[in-house]
Amino acid sequence: MKVGIIGAGRIGAIHARTLVSHPDVEALIVADYDVGLAAKLAARHGAGAASSVEELFEAAEAVVIASPTDTHVDYLVRAAKRGIPAFCEKPIAIDLESTDRAIAAINEAGIPVQMGFMRRFDPGYRAAHELVASGALGEVTLVTGHTHDIEPPHESYIPRSGGAFKDMLIHDIDALRFVTGAEPVEVNATGSNRAMEVFGRYDDLATVAAVMHMDDGSLAILSGTRQDPLGYDVRMEVFGTRDSVAVGLSPRTPIRSLEPDAPPRDESVVVGWLERFEPAYRAEMDAFVEVASGRRPSPCTPEDARAALVVAEACGVSAREKRPVRVEECG
């Protein structure tokens, strides 16, 4: 299979490392608006470099879209018109109208598309999903999820990110749906820019929290912040009537316990997102090769991405209007 990667940045480079060594990938082709960057990534892996995205589409039998968010819809529509399978980093778009345009093209063409919510491939999140599905936890009563970036993004990123709920907390929203199999029906969200006032210049929030009522009667509390001095901290706790479990909690978790009997913290704490999720990135790309080969259905569909976006939009409305918001109001 000939696979094309659009986008030679950090995510594209991660996916290239997995694909170039995959036994089912006979050729890898890289394209980027920066032709030099594409050539450099291609040379690093003995891959081919396309002079344009159009050239890549003409040669590829499957495509990995790892370009900026505002290009995703166009590339998904192109993949649909050519009838080739696509992997797309989250989100499809930061608005529902564009998202729905892409989904309509995908469904009309009937191509398989896998979205890049990598937490679905993390061993801890998968184990939590399986425990909930098996009933081993009993009835789930409460889920908490946390995403703490180690440092804020560059200011130039903020106005095009889509905001904290769509850019940062959307991973927690997708993980919540994946692990529990339940859907948020009402959200009450808020946020702050304390110590990171730059986000306020763009009507964004640096630290956010949301309480969600789920359609099975349980509650979820999701939180996120753009700065955590100890490192990249992503966790989930699932509380049931029979058992309670945590994802992302280990001696390497970048948080200090003040209990006198706590085990010593491993000094090799998780510093960045790649250290935390590199195995999940590899696993999701292995899964996409199976999807593109027709050996399995997509494990994370465009409709999953849309559902998470609608919840994120509801959180944004709730935070702005300072009221609980029914998810159905937003999509």
Asked whether 65 and 72 are in contact (CB, 8 A), the reply is yes
- Are residues 195 and 126 part of one domain? yes
- Enumerate long-range contacts of 286-289, CB under 8 Å, 24 or more apart: 286/18, 286/22, 287/114, 287/121, 288/62, 288/64, 288/85, 288/87, 288/114, 289/1, 289/3, 289/19, 289/22, 289/24, 289/25, 289/62
Closest CA to 229 of 168, 157, 164, 149: 149
pLDDT in tens, 67-92: 999 999 999 999 999 999 999 999 99
Mean pLDDT taken over the chain: 96
What is the average pLDDT across 150-168?
Answer: 95
pTM: 0.96
- Are residues 94 and 208 part of one domain? no
Cα–Cα distance, 160 to 38 (Å, whole number): 23
Cα–Cα distance, 48 to 56 (Å, whole number): 10
What is the average pLDDT across 48-63?
Answer: 97
Decide: residue 134, CB within 10 A, 0-12 exposed, 13-18 middle, 19+ buried: exposed
- Are residues 267 and 225 part of one domain? yes
**Sign of dihedral through CA atoms 296, 299, 303, 305?**
negative
Query: For residue 97, is pLDDT > 80?
Result: yes
Q: What's 95's domain CATH number?
A: 3.40.50.720
- Tell me if 293 is assigned to some domain: no
pLDDT value of position 251: 86
- Are residues 131 and 74 part of one domain? no
- Are residues 253 and 180 part of one domain? yes
What is the average pLDDT across 293-302?
Answer: 98
Query: For residue 267, is pLDDT > 80?
Result: no
pLDDT value of position 135: 98
- Are residues 170 and 125 part of one domain? yes
- Tell me if 302 is assigned to some domain: no
- Are residues 125 and 152 part of one domain? yes
Query: For residue 127, is pLDDT > 90?
Result: yes
- Tell me if 73 is assigned to some domain: yes
pLDDT in tens, 232-266: 999 999 999 999 999 999 888 999 899 999 888 77
User: Left (φ > 0), alpha (ψ -120 to 50) or beta: where does 146 sit?
Assistant: beta
Chosen domain end from 60, 83, 111: 111
Structure tokens belonging to residue 280: 């999940």
- Tell me if 288 is assigned to some domain: no
291 or 272, which is more confident:
291
Query: For residue 269, is pLDDT > 90?
Result: no
- Tell me if 283 is assigned to some domain: no
Chosen domain end from 70, 88, 111: 111
pLDDT value of position 266: 78
- Are residues 127 and 106 part of one domain? no
- Tell me if 25 is assigned to some domain: yes
The whole domain housing 46 covers 2-111
Per residue in 251-289, is it b (16+ CB within 10 Å) or e — as a string? ebbbeeeeeeeeeebeeebbeebeebbeebbbbbbebbb
